[in-house]
Chain A
Amino acid sequence: MSEIIQTDAVIVGAGPVGLFAVFELGLLDIKAHLIDILPKVGGQCAELYPEKPIYDIPGYPIITGQGLVEALEKQIHPFRPTFHLGEMVERVETLGTAEKPLYRVATDAGTTIEAKVVIIAAGGGSFQPKRPPTPGVEAYEGKSVFYSVRKMEHFRGRRVMVAGGGDSALDWALNLHPVASRVILVHRRDEFRAAPHSVNAMRALVAENKMDLAIAQLTGLKGADGQLSAVTLRGADQSAFDVECDDLLAFYGLTMKLGPIADWGLNLHENLIPVDTATFETSAPGIFAVGDIITYPGKLKLILSGFHEGALAAQRAHRHVYPDKKLLFQYTTSSTNLQRKLGVS
């Protein structure tokens, strides 16, 4: 096992609310590690609506999703949070007691962190790859149907069907071309969202008969014991045909799923985490939850509400991290102590 990281707080989810929690914790000298399954920070704002304007962030009459994320990154920069991106938090284990909480957080990438408090800012759940719309696909997952490439070697000498028309699909079709015995790219239309140079590279290979391109949609899978033998496609003329292959690599975008949070022993109410609104602590002492993932009477799924929730969670988290220190209420405007932390004094 790799080395265990020791810190004050682990924040699960680097959406806007998780990001701002770093700020509120930082003002109280609480060091944070942030984990997100996405390869970038910003949660829904960055993934679902980066270019869209938001009109209800206090102090910003208008700001785009990505603009807000960038402003937040700048705002929390003085606290140097550690980011673990592209990793999904799988387990949260209790090591401490109710009086002296301690948690061990483990990701699917093997990162293990021990922290006094955990802040769950998991929003609508973790962004996970969408399944292709073929019945029975679950039985093949991890054996011959994949949504990302962890080991290129798996594909050596195999016939690989790559489904999709964006950068991931095209990049992997091109990267696997020298490794696989044959790459078959399938997309529903003869137009690609991917970068033009990869589309051109793909078209050149297809023209030389070194790669196959099928303009079609996936409708069925054939095989046994998790091993594919063929994929049924439906062409633009609505005719169905089978294409033999050993693996399918499908890129159908992302969807939000609650994911492993359900297994952490927390009380859940309709896939949301109930909290105490004075502290934003969950049913487990030392585990807090903020943002879209929580529920309480009057909860609004708004970014500004998530910011408020983070500020209150930080106050109570301070008690767990510094049980012997009294917390003094201070303003960033006038406290030289806070300004030193922000690097402005």
Chain B
Amino acid sequence: MTKVTYIDASGESRTVEAQVGSTVMETALRNSVPGIEAECGGACACATCHVYVADEWTEIVGKPSQMEEDMLDFAADVRPNSRLSCQIKVSEALDGLVVTTPVKQG
């Protein structure tokens, strides 16, 4: 099984099982992981699913698309490892992925 770890702003860590093909945002909601709001339901239209990808994963996860980069303009405290979790699809290559949720969404 593929696993994703979410670390919240206070440092608490939660590791959950993720379905290949679903998004990192959907996986968080399905497992009641706090810190991700996903107001627009994954349409890349709200920037309330913002996460920081752990340094060792940034290359594997890749860069945001143009549309996602535009949407990141609406997120708070954007950093070089910022991504919108609804735009990251879980794959076997991402087994063990670690992301941190920000202090505040949107």
Are A217 and B78 in contact (CB-based, < 8 A)? yes
Residues of chain A within 8 A of B40, CB atoms compared: 48-49
Question: Contact: A48 with B78, CB < 8 Å?
Answer: no
Residues of B within 8 A of A256 (CB): 39
Contact status B39-A255, CB under 8 Å: yes
Judging by beta carbons under 8 Å apart, are B43 and A130 in contact? no
Q: A187 within 8 Å of B by Cβ?
A: yes
| B43 A52 Cβ-Cβ under 8 A | yes
Contact call A253/B47, Cβ cutoff below 8 A: yes
A320→B46 CA distance, assembly (Å):
40
Task: Mark B residues whose CB is within 8 Å of A.
Answer: 39-40, 43, 45-48, 69-70, 72-74, 76-78, 104, 106
C-alpha gap A94/B55 in the complex (Å): 58
Residues B70 and A253 in contact, CB atoms below 8 Å apart = no
* Interface residues contributed by chain A, number (CB under 8 Å): 20
User: Does chain B have a CB within 8 A of A166?
Assistant: yes
**A49-B39 contact in complex given A133-B77, A166-B73, A252-B74, C-beta closer than 8 Å:** no
Question: Which residues of B lie under 8 Å from residue A187 when comparing CB positions?
Answer: 73
Closest CB pairs A-B (n = 10): A133-B76, A253-B74, A48-B45, A49-B43, A48-B40, A193-B70, A165-B73, A252-B74, A188-B78, A48-B43
B7 to chain A, nearest CB (A): 20
CB contacts between A and B, total, < 8 Å = 41
- CB pair A164–B46 under 8 Å, yes or no, is no
Smallest Cβ distance from A337 to chain B, in angstroms?
41
Q: Does B70 contact A130, Cβ atoms closer than 8 Å? A: no
Contact A130 B74 (CB under 8 A): yes
- CA–CA, A47 to B73, complex, Å? 17
Contacts of B78 in A (CB 8 A): 188, 217
Sampled A-B contacts (10; CB under 8 Å): A48-B40, A48-B45, A49-B43, A164-B73, A166-B73, A188-B78, A189-B73, A252-B73, A255-B46, A255-B106
Question: Could you tell me if A130 and B106 are in contact, using CB atoms closer than 8 angstroms?
Answer: yes
B43 pairs with A133, CB closer than 8 A = no
A197 CB, nearest partner CB in chain B, Å: 18
Q: Which residue of A lies closest to B76 (CB)?
A: A133
Decide yes or no: A48 and B46 within 8 Å by CB, A130-B106, A255-B39 being known contacts: yes
Of A49, A133, A217, A219, which is within 8 A of B45 by CB? A49
Is the CB–CB distance between A217 and B77 below 8 Å? Answer: yes
CB distance from A120 to the nearest CB of B (A): 21
Residues of A within 8 A of B39 (CB): 255-256
Q: How far is the CB of A66 from chain B (nearest CB, A)?
A: 13
CB-CB under 8 A for A193 and B73, given A217-B78, A255-B39: yes
CA of A156 to CA of B17 in the docked complex: distance in angstroms? 57
Chain B residues, Cβ within 8 Å of A188:
72-73, 78
In the complex, what's the smallest C-beta–C-beta distance from A31 to chain B, in angstroms?
34
> How close is B18's CB to chain A, nearest CB, in angstroms?
24
Set of chain B residues within 8 Å of A193, measured between Cβ atoms: 70, 73
**CB nearest to B40 among chain A residues:** A48
CA distance A48 to B70 in the complex (A): 14
Q: How far apart are the CA atoms of A80 and B77 in the complex, in Å? A: 46
**Minimum C-beta distance from B52 to chain A (A):** 14
Which chain B residues border A164 with CB–CB below 8 Å?
73
Q: Chain A contacts of B70 at CB under 8 A?
A: 193
Q: Indicate the member of A164, A255, A256 with the most B CB atoms within 10 Å.
A: A255
A130 CB contacts on chain B under 8 angstroms: 74, 106
Quote the shortest CB–CB distance from B96 to chain A (angstroms): 28
Q: In the complex, how many angstroms separate the beta carbon of A231 from the nearest chain B beta carbon?
A: 15
Map CB proximity to B onto A48-65 as digits: 1 under 8 Å, 0 otherwise.
110010000000000000
Residues on A with C-beta less than 8 A from B69 are: 189, 191
What's the nearest-Cβ distance from chain B to residue A201, in Å?
20
A127-138 vs B: 1/0 string, CB under 8 Å? 000100100000
